[in-house]
Chains A and B, each alone.
Chain A
Amino acid sequence: MKIYDGGKIFIGLVIFVALFASPFYLNMGKAIAKPELKFDTPEIQRLEKETGKKQCVEPKEFMRGGHMQMLNNWRDEVVRMGNRDQIVIAGQKFDKSLQLACMKCHSNKKDFCDKCHNYMAVNPYCWTCHIQPKEKQS
């Protein structure tokens, strides 16, 4: 069997595979640092002082993977069903609200929300409407 222009095709293929796979071998052995979230905003520190612990509405493990479903449920309850019951953590009451609860403690969007969202390459558009707090040094 004869391949016409076999040499050129072969060189072309090698170049293509090399380019296509470049992200893999260029990044080989280099682990991208896991995002380090900061939980030490002034608000969280105050909560810790007052209640003796840093506590969210749900455990960290749940929030990591499930905060988006939880926010979705909150939205349905508040906006669609008009259920504005509050959540109590260690005697403190919180609204079911991204802007009025979550972001009041996590006032460091850059060091909190954005860190993971950028790492995961997701781009939620919560903040096109919900106003984020002024970025503070944590």
Chain B
Amino acid sequence: MSMNRREFLKIAGISTVVGLGGTAAFTKIRESALEAAQIAPNTLALKAKQWAMVIDMGKFKSEETIKKVINACHRIHNVPDIGNPKDEIKWIWTETYGHAFPGQEHKYMSEDMMHKPFLLLCNHCTNPACVRVCPTKATFKRKDGIVMQDMHRCIGCRFCMAACPFGARSFNYRDPRGKDANGNPFIKEENKEYPTRMIGVVEKCTFCVERIEKGLKPACVEESNGALVFGDLDDPNSEVRKILGSTYTVRRKPELGTEPNVYYVIGGNGYAIVPELL
């Protein structure tokens, strides 16, 4: 049988389509048979392209609320309280304005602003420096923008700590399940639904990935009485985008190019009004 080029291509094309379709159908049948028997798909997970947070400092009415927020995170994630700043482990913590936004402070700032505790946590950067340096890919960026750390893979090299310009990561110098000199455990009360870490690994905020995937908002957000807002940066109708589009917000050290995804509303407090001019 003789065949010209055109015919050959036609037949080749058709058989490819049939072939592909055939295997696809086959795989589909096999998958559904397997899944029907034993897998219940997780339908609860909250979805996003890039999770982000807005921290409205003006909405924190007392330091108590801030402490409550920090405790909520550290309690459910079994973050040890080592009790000295050198070995300290922190997922969410406070700093002064000058430390949180270096270069932005000046000596004429209101006392309140200068000493107010600002809440800091991992920024789940769009361009995370920690991910670039991690030699084992223990730290990686998920499809929803969360910068996640696989504790099974962390070798404790601490490159990520050197790379992160926000001090968001802590190294376990001590065994987190250990006790202090007085015999008090570093983890006051273990949350049995979450693991601890071991000596020699680095840890940080996970944006509560284990909660998001069960349809819950991060624990700190829930505890904050509306001061922390969580949402998808990619969705113009999300709560975070509405705040970002209507209020002046700042990020920590944007000049470094990591594109942090935690935004701050610094918050007015009446100090700016000069009485003589009224």
B40 within 8 A of A: yes
Q: How far is the CB of A117 from chain B (nearest CB, A)?
A: 18
A135 to B5 Cα, complex, angstroms = 74
Q: How far is the CA of A79 from the CA of B42 in the complex (A)?
A: 14
Chain B residues with Cβ under 8 A from A88's Cβ?
A: 38-40
The complex places the Cα of A87 from the Cα of B195 at a distance, in Å, of 21
Number of interface residues of B (CB under 8 A): 24
Contacts of A57 in B (CB 8 A): 38
Asked if A138 is at the interface (CB within 8 A of a chain B CB), the reply is no
**B38 and A129 contact, CB distance less than 8 A:** no
Given A89-B38, A129-B151, does the pair A84, B196 have CB atoms closer than 8 Å?
no
A interface size (C-beta, 8 A): 21
In contact, B41 and A85 (Cβ under 8 angstroms): yes
Does B66 count as interface, using CB distance less than 8 angstroms?
A: no
A129 x B40 contact (CB < 8 A): no
Report A-chain residues with C-beta under 8 Å of the C-beta of B45: 82, 84
B140 CB contact (under 8 Å) in A80, A85, A86, A131: A80
A84–B42 CB distance below 8 A: yes
Residues 137-169 (chain B) with a chain A CB within 8 angstroms: 140, 142-144, 148, 150-152
Judge whether A86 and B150 touch: CB under 8 Å: no
Structural contact, A93 and B40, CB atoms closer than 8 A: yes
Known: A75-B150, A84-B214, A87-B38. 8 other contacts (CB 8 A): A79-B150, A82-B144, A87-B39, A129-B195, A129-B196, A129-B197, A131-B195, A133-B192
Interface residues of A (CB under 8 A from B): 57, 75, 79-80, 82-89, 93, 99-100, 125, 128-131, 133
Q: What are 28 residue pairs bridging A and B, where the CB atoms are less than 8 Å apart in the complex?
A: A75-B150, A75-B152, A79-B150, A79-B152, A80-B140, A82-B45, A82-B209, A82-B213, A84-B213, A84-B214, A85-B40, A86-B39, A87-B39, A87-B40, A88-B39, A88-B40, A89-B38, A99-B192, A99-B193, A125-B198, A128-B198, A129-B151, A129-B195, A129-B196, A129-B197, A131-B190, A131-B192, A131-B196
